[in-house]
Structure 1
């Protein structure tokens, strides 16, 4: 049994923490919203009143937070993770943040006597609930292997991709592919509907061929019904595409299609849809095609 503190019990963090409980770990969680802590307690975990209480006996601290500044706020300062976690514990950041920030914070963690692993995840809320996340892991090989049991409790594909920051770099590439795929699926669905094709049948045959992808498998049905309950919010994918475009610019890499999708995601957010699932890119395709539905999307 490993003592695991989980900071951030949102759409992804809570089911990840619950899977750690199911795997037999001693899990204590902290979240700004007490209701999420209550859900963890109901699942067999424990709740903490603050970060200090959460991490003071931890072997492993997991953070799952929205953005780079959020992670910096939680780990830094006298009341933060680095100042209050026992020496030789491992900090695993499963958030999606800038690779350069990850490298800087990993160095700060080591200075505080901690081991640092960046382990952003992919698979959305469903993957978090099912424990089938894909986890791209950066850090020293020995540090990664030491916490592999914890990572395996949350994901089915756990791959060490390189030193500190590498996990975040691979996650940036992941978000680029996912956004582009959602956009193309959105365009295909609106195209099919415009030609009065049986879209359910079309999705079935498309998913079985070379066009098959996880977006068709997991999101096409809800997209066709215009249900956009957030498994991964537009606001967050907009943030992630900002990370991608900045990192690509810094490396001198052209991402022309990615840049367009980043603009489209930003436009969708500007339309007031930031709280919807990122599959709501379909709404923007409809609007651009003059085919917007009268009924508002389901959230």
Structure 2
């Protein structure tokens, strides 16, 4: 969030009423509104343009934008957005598109966390993991996210498309919003905790589907299916950019990933440090002990 504000502050000295600024970062709604205020004080227009889509969609101009801003700003900026999109959804005033983007990422993170737990249960029952994938394909809850991620999860392919640390940042934003509105977001908190655990184990740069590591430690033998669906081009902070346009004049400023990573002081904190070389079975043992303690405290046998 700070990097967005710093970048806009640096741009503001050059802004004139002819300019339109596009902000594509996934940040807290309040930070987006603060950035808009800086731009608009200079007489320029500000368009909040969070996006989603695949890498192929970006290349083909088929992204989907969630847009926040005034009608005037969107009218001026629409031709630029149309060059890389198939759909533009005007959500409302600045800040609201960021809230929608965070909310959609909440569903995405929860979906992959639940898939990881479901795969753990299937394996515990001695069933082929491929049967779970097959069953999900004809299940009403199947989604594009699961279609893209399940094959890679079975292959233990955690090459980053949207990293653990970036998804964790978005879940922290969601948690902060929830706290300010006295909301109990149990599922989001659970997904955030598992992402944080992977970060602590040194997997922050892996794809967020690496939450599966808590339950699986060896490759699934013989599974070689390749997903035909392209990976989503999420707004990893390394790819966040701001565009200033004035007629034929366009400025692009690319913010570096290191500047946009969530605060090093996470929402969760643990005493001491976690060694990434610790035995892989440690998380499983902790989870098992927690279940036992919970049952004893509740009187279950």
Q: Same fold judged by TM-score > 0.5?
A: yes
Residue aligning to 1:223: 153
**1:253 and 1:124, CA in 2 relative to 1: closer, same or farther beyond 3 A?**
farther
Q: Which residue of 2 aligns with 1:8?
A: none
Aligned residue among 127, 137, 153 for 2:67:
137
- 1:166 equivalenced with 2:124 (yes/no): no
Q: How much does 1:166 deviate? A: 0.6
- Is 1:104 matched with 2:34? yes
SS in 1 for 2:13: helix
SS of aligned partner of 2:74: helix
The whole-number CA distance in structure 1 between the counterparts of 2:115 and 2:57 is 20
Q: What CA deviation, in whole Å up to 9, does each residue of 1:179-218 have, x standing for no partner?
A: 1011011112233333343433432331232120122111
Find the counterpart in structure 2 of residue 72 from structure 1: 5
TM-superposed CA distance for 1:125, in Å, is 4.5
The Cα shift of 1:86 comes to: 4.4
Matched residue, 2:81:
151
Helix, strand or coil at the partner of 2:202: helix
Distance change (3 Å), C-alpha of 1:262 and 1:127: farther
In the TM superposition, residue 113 of structure 1 has moved relative to its aligned partner by 1.9
- Unpaired segments of 5 or more residues in structure 1? 1-67, 291-299
1:231-286 CA distances to partner (integer Å, 9 max, x unpaired)?
Answer: 11111111111111101111222211111211111111111100001111111233
Conserved in 1, the CA contact under 8 Å of 2:5 and 2:34? no
- Across the aligned residues of Structure 1 and Structure 2, the Cα RMSD in angstroms comes to 2.0
Q: Report the CA distance between 1:101 and its aligned residue.
A: 0.9
Larger radius of gyration: 2
Aligned residues: 220
Quote the residue 1:36 is aligned against. none
Q: Determine which of 181, 189, 193 is the counterpart of 2:123.
A: 193
- The structure with higher relative contact order (CA 8 Å, sep 6+) is 2
Could you list the per-position Cα deviations for residues 18-46 of structure 1 after superposition, in whole angstroms to 9, with x for gaps in the alignment? xxxxxxxxxxxxxxxxxxxxxxxxxxxxx
Q: Is the 8 A contact 1:223 1:282 kept in 2?
A: yes
Structure 2: which 5+ residue stretches go unaligned? 217-280, 286-301
Cα 1:185–1:153 shift into 2, 3 Å? farther
**Alignment equivalent of 1:202, drawn from 120, 132, 138:** 132
What is residue 252 of structure 1 aligned with on the other side?
A: 182
Return the alpha-carbon distance in structure 1 between the equivalents of residues 59 and 196 of structure 2.
28
Structure 1 residue aligned with 2:43, among 93, 113, 117? 113
Q: Deviations over 1:81-114 (max 9, x none)?
A: 2222443221111110111011111011011121
**TM-score where L is the length of structure 2:** 0.67
Shift of residue 220, structure 1, vs aligned partner: 1.1
1:50-78: per-residue Cα shift (whole Å, max 9, x none)?
xxxxxxxxxxxxxxxxxx111122121xx
The TM-score, its normalising length taken from structure 1, stands at 0.68
What secondary structure is seen at the aligned counterpart in 2 of 1:191? helix
Offset of residue 131 of structure 1:
4.0
